[in-house]
């Protein structure tokens, strides 16, 4: 009489583990699931959430980002065996909340971190200030987190060695690579197209210089263009999941820019489009580009005050019972303030 073999789910799992450890099976043991962190920063109302939702194939309408928000993306590989995870952080409020970069940029995430800077092309008068402030904040926190990670692991690896460039990287000795992989996205290209050709050329060349100076990738996009969003998604997937970023390159200022890191050079970018460079008294090439840019697009003075709405009054976080109790307590507080004011006015203060 044949022997009946009964296996439980746990037995199946144990057998699968033994099979993998012995090197038998369809999947290659060298393929391991990965976890990466992507931090999105950029212009206030510049389209960060909309771009993120499109890259994640989310069907829901985007909501305004409140301070700092977390989400995640997953990608399945190897016949649904491995699930790569991307931890996604998005900073709202433009530069007003730049000190919050210390939350996602920490020692435990630093070695798998990428930064995406979204700049609103339709608002050139805020573009340089936003770029400069946010990149400075992210760069300082990144270096701090690197040092903390080194102290915790007693690693001899220095901060500058984290983002290693190939020896043949264009202008390798003249640039200042960002500590982690960086992607600059110029959003709202559909509105940017309406600009005067000279202004478009200056903005395009300036962003090409900035991207190359930081060893970053650069792409112009619009959520109204399926073609541009498709190309943007390729770059996003490269940063979030490590897939190939493609070989498409476009440096023509009359078209959307698509420039992977290392595909540009200072000689191709050229000099700032101005006839009076010597009178600007710039300290270095970056300072020169800044002065030329600000001559054409004077930067708006951005208030340092936080323009953050009260989360308790934000409809996307409504809780009827809690909100009703909060309203009652607010009324009681106002009544207490009025009574206290009356009592002070009624006092007969004597010297």
Least confident of 44-48, 52-56, 61-65, 110-114: 61-65
> Over the stretch 23-41, which tens digit does the pLDDT of each residue have?
444 344 445 668 999 999 9
Q: What does the pLDDT average to over 282-301?
A: 89
CA neighbours closer than 13 Å in the CB half-sphere of residue 110: 28
Phi then psi for residue 204, to 5 deg, are -65, -45
Backbone angles phi, psi at 30, to 5 degrees: -70, -20
Region class of 50: left (phi > 0), else alpha (psi between -120 and 50), else beta = alpha
For 259, the 3-state DSSP assignment is strand
Instruction: Please report, rounded to a whole number, the percentage of residues in the chain having pLDDT higher than 70.
Output: 77
The edge-to-edge listing of strands for the beta sheet with 182-187 is 68-77, 82-91, 35-42, 113-120, 182-187, 217-220, 258-259
**Dist CA 105 CA 89 (whole Å):** 10
Torsion of CA 250, 260, 126, 286, to 10 degrees: -100
pLDDT at position 75 is: 86
Work out the average pLDDT over 70-81: 80
Contact (CB, 8 A) for 221 and 229:
yes
- Per residue in 174-229, pLDDT (tens digit) is 999 999 999 999 999 999 999 999 999 999 999 999 999 999 999 999 999 999 99
Beta strands per DSSP E along the chain? 35-42, 68-77, 82-91, 113-120, 182-187, 217-220, 258-259
Domain boundaries, the chain: 35-296
CA distance 345 to 351: 16
| Whole-angstrom distance, CA of residue 183 vs CA of residue 219 | 8
**CATH among 3.40.50.620, 3.40.1480.10, 3.90.1150.10, 3.40.50.300 for 35-296:** 3.40.50.300
**Helices 48-55, 226-241: crossing angle, 10 deg rounding:** 80
């Amino acid at each position: 009489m044949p022997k009946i073999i009964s296996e439980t789910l746990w037995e199946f799992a144990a057998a699968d583990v033994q099979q993998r450890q012995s090197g038998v099976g369809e999947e290659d043991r060298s393929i391991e699931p990965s976890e990466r962190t992507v931090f999105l920063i950029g212009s206030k109302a510049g389209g960060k959430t909309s771009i993120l939702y499109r890259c994640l194939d989310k069907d829901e309408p985007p909501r305004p980002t409140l301070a700092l928000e977390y989400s995640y993306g997953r990608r399945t590989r190897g016949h649904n065996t491995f699930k790569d995870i991307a931890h996604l952080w998005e900073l709202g409020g433009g530069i007003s909340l730049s000190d919050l970069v210390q939350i996602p940029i920490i020692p435990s995430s630093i070695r798998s971190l990428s930064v995406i800077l979204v700049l609103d092309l339709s608002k050139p008068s805020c573009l340089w200030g936003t770029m400069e402030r946010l990149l400075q904040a992210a760069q300082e926190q990144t270096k701090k987190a690197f040092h903390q990670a080194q102290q915790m692991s007693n690693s001899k690896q220095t901060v500058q060695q984290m983002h290693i460039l190939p020896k043949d990287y264009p202008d390798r000795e003249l640039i200042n690579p960002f500590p982690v992989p960086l992607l600059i996205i110029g959003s709202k290209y559909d509105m940017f197209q309406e600009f005067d050709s000279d202004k478009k050329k200056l903005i395009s060349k300036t962003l090409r210089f900035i991207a190359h100076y930081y060893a970053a990738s650069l792409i112009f996009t619009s959520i109204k263009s399926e073609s541009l969003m498709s190309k943007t998604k390729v770059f996003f997937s490269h940063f979030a999941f490590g897939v190939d970023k493609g070989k498409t390159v476009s440096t023509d200022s009359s078209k959307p820019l698509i420039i992977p890191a290392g595909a540009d050079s200072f000689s191709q970018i050229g000099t700032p489009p101005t006839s009076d460079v010597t009178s600007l008294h710039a300290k270095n090439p970056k300072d020169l580009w800044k002065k030329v840019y600000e001559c054409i697009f004077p930067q708006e003075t951005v208030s340092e005050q936080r323009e953050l709405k009260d989360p308790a009054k934000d409809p996307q976080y409504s809780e009827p019972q809690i909100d009703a109790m909060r309203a009652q307590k607010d009324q009681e507080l106002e009544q207490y303030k009025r009574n206290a004011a009356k009592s002070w006015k009624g006092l007969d203060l004597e010297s």
